[in-house]
Structure 1
Amino acid sequence: MKPARGPSRRRADGRLRLAVLSRNKKLYSTRRLVEAAKQRGHAVKVLDTLRCQLVLARDAPRVFYRGAEVGRIDVVIPRIGASITGYGLSVVNQFDMMGVPTLNNSVPIARSRDKLRALQLLSRFGIDIPRTVMCRYREEVPLAVEQVGGLPCIMKLIQGTQGVGVLLASTMTEVEGMLDTLWHLGQEILIQELIAESRGKDVRALVIGDRVVAAMRRTAREGEFRSNIHRGGEGQAIELPPAYAEAAVKAARVIGLEVAGVDMLESKEGPKIMEVNSSPGFEGLEQVTGQDIAGLYVEHAVELARAHAAGWSKARLI
């Protein structure tokens, strides 16, 4: 059996070839990653995820882009939008099959996109989360609301991002009406505890490798309970207490992500993990912290590529 092709050998000058999977090269995070890679002397190209054609044959997975076979790549940085999760996971997995390291591979990305699956894993490994219930029948709703601490409560789509599909219900009529509508549309919904003391605020920590490299507290604009920057929230740079930093790193490890945006609520009991994002935007973090987040992102990708190449070369000698 012919082995799958391994990663390309490093150039003598140390330059690596990076690929960023992104639908739009003008997006802030994509543009910054390209700038950071070039500043460090690496070659980088942006591949529109949906334009990647996947070719499969016996022991010979290949990727074509706009009609031409993709050349040798040392590491892939996925920036997979929620709307193309399925195809994006297939593209990431194809590069993995070709022996190209990816900064977040397909399995943990899939885990992070399914909010229930992610919460199940976090709960299993002893990470504190808001109380959460999933049910499917109307007669079960009153008990579900009681199990999360009563009203008001939060309702979330299992798959959603940037605050989309997150609703606040203050009465049982609202809960039942929202559920009826969303169930009719074929959506699965989580009912979740509202952490009253953190209402309108949360903490975003960016984990790269085994440490938190930046963090900010996000505060919702007036009249809005969702604190996402994309929904008008404001960010303030903060130094995370050790308990919060440890929780963020552990959450990323449990999901299996090399890079993750971990969203936490500040409760009376300490950090409660809300969500682990596999393609975190970092425009807000760069603005409020003044840090070169894109550079840290690229440097970690380069470290991963070099470690992978060294391991593959060693395997070839055995």
Structure 2
Amino acid sequence: MSDRHRIASSRDTPLLTGEGRGEGFSSPRLGILVSHLREEEKLILAAAGELGVATQLIQDRTLALDLSDPAPPEVDVVLDRCVAHTRGGYALRVFEAWGVPTVNPSATVATCDDKVLMSLAFATAGVPALRTAVAFTVESALEVGERLGYPLIVKPVTGSWGRLLARANSPADLRAILEQKKALGGPQHGVFYLQEYVVKPGRDLRVFYVGGEVIAASYRNSAHWITNVARGAVSTTCPITDEIVAVTRLAARAVGAEIAGVDLVETPDGLKVIEINGGAEFKGLRGTTDVPIARVIVEHAISRAAVGR
């Protein structure tokens, strides 16, 4: 392979060799698409090493993909852990076109990274989710507000870690929030994603799903209405109930997810889905479960590998 076709230089993306890999070793090779190494990616690399799985980091910032001259990465499957959603989505689509399986698939990543598409998938599949609407002008959003009622939540179409969320307690609040979004510029700030507000019992749930199974769950506790761990929420043990399993599976299947973090909220009508994250962090879960989440992720990813490709 010529230098211009390399996925990345050895300096930037080292090949980490699993224990016991030697001449004729046939274990699947795991590529991990990353923007940077967070705690979760380090745990995944360590788990792969313990399993004897050879891994290659594929850093999104180093990619130069010649679409007219395919040069797929020398791996059997790519695990998406990229936080740069646009880069990651395009890279996964190219890898798939070049015959490399990806986990999650690019179509799933595209749906999870766009809250409008995600909510539409939930509605189409009959997933019990928070009532959501989308509008494109301030006036039409105010009409939506009258139907949803106040308070309501305004979220960016893309984004994570509880950033840029706002609670509108009245039409005046909503108008002010949306006018500010418009002033920020950019097409995404002109798409108004509005969601019903649910009074939480001081917590919500983060559920981790891998390969059709719910493997862990935690409560995320906070006095604030935003209960993301990234915003200071504290994770505690949550027993996995039949309802948690059923709702989580519905949500994951609606978007075609193989690996996901599903956020649920307790309501008088039962559990409802807030959203689903395809490349979810799990550091908050680690202290609430004995399940080796990183190891389960690696085992699932290599089960999807195109061995002998």
Following the alignment from structure 1 to structure 2, what is the Cα–Cα distance between the partners of residues 133 and 262? 20
Report the residue type matching 1:247 in the other structure. V
Where does residue 35 of structure 1 map in the other structure? 46
Aligned to 1:207: 209
Note the aligned Cα RMSD (angstroms). 1.9
Quote how far apart the aligned CAs of 1:200 are. 4.3
Change (3 A) 1:130 1:245: same
Aligned-partner Cα distance in 1 for 2:166–2:286: 28
Q: Displacement of 1:12 after TM fit?
A: 4.7
1:177 corresponds in structure 2 to: 176
Matched, 1:151 2:150: yes
Name stretches of at least 5 consecutive residues in structure 2 with no aligned partner: 1-22
- Say if 2:195 is the partner of 1:192: yes
8 Å Cα contact 1:156/1:189 also seen in 2? yes
Q: Distance in 1 between matches of 2:49 and 2:141?
A: 53
Question: Which position in structure 1 is the counterpart of 2:123?
Answer: 123
Q: CA deviation at 1:172?
A: 2.1
Aligned to 1:284, what secondary structure does the other structure show?
helix
Residues 254-310 of structure 1: per-residue CA shift (max 9 Å, x gap): 1011101111111111111111101001111112213210000001011111xx438
1:21 aligned partner: 33
Structure 1 CA distance, aligned partners of 2:261 and 2:237? 15
Q: Compute the displacement of 1:14 (Å).
A: 4.2
Within 1, Cα distance between the matches of 2:237 and 2:40? 18
Instruction: Answer whether contact 1:133 1:191 (CA < 8 A) is retained.
Output: yes
2:279 maps to 1:272: no
1:199–1:225: 8 Å Cα contact kept in structure 2? no
Q: Give deviations 1:79-131, integer Å, cap 9, x for gaps.
A: 121xx222211111122122111111211100111101110111111111111
Per-residue deviation, 1:162? 1.1
**What is the Cα deviation at residue 137 of structure 1?**
2.7
The aligned counterpart of 2:295 is: 295
- SS, match of residue 289 in structure 1: coil
User: Which runs of 5 or more residues in structure 1 are unaligned?
Assistant: 1-10, 64-69, 313-318
Query: Distance between the aligned counterparts of 1:283 and 1:130, measured in 2?
Result: 25
Counterparts of 1:215 and 1:243 in 2: how far apart (Å)? 12
Indicate the percent of aligned positions where both proteins have the same amino acid. 28
Structure 1 partner of 2:230: 230
Q: Does the Cα contact within 8 Å between 2:244 and 2:271 map onto a contact in 1?
A: yes
Match status 1:85 vs 2:61 = no
- 2:26 and 2:288 map into 1 onto residues whose CA distance is 33
SS for the counterpart of 1:309 is coil
**2:32 & 2:236 partners in 1: Cα distance?**
28
CA distance in 1 between counterparts of 2:26 and 2:208 reads 28
Aligned length: 284
Moved over 3 A (4+): 11-14
CA distance in 1, matches of 2:201, 2:275: 16
Rounded to whole Å, the distance in 2 between the matches of 1:209 and 1:127 is: 19
Q: Does residue 1:94 correspond to 2:94, yes or no? A: yes
CA contact (8 A) 1:50 1:88 kept: no
Contact 2:141-2:192 within 8 A present in 1 as well: no
Q: Which residue of 2 aligns with 1:7?
A: none
Q: Residues 20 and 79 of structure 1 are in contact (CA less than 8 Å); yes or no, is this contact kept in structure 2? A: yes
- Whole-Å separation in 2 of the counterparts to 1:243 and 1:12: 46
TM-score when normalising by structure 1: 0.84
2:307 pairs, out of 300, 309, 313, with 309
Conserved 8 A contact 1:77-1:103? yes
Give the distance between the partners of 1:236 and 1:228, measured in 2 at CA.
13
SS at match of 1:109: helix
Cα–Cα, structure 1 residues 192 and 279, in superposed 2: closer, same or farther, change >3 Å?
same
Mapped pair 1:114 → 2:123 = no
Aligned equivalent of 1:53, options 42, 64, 69 = 64
Counterpart in the other structure of 1:242? 242
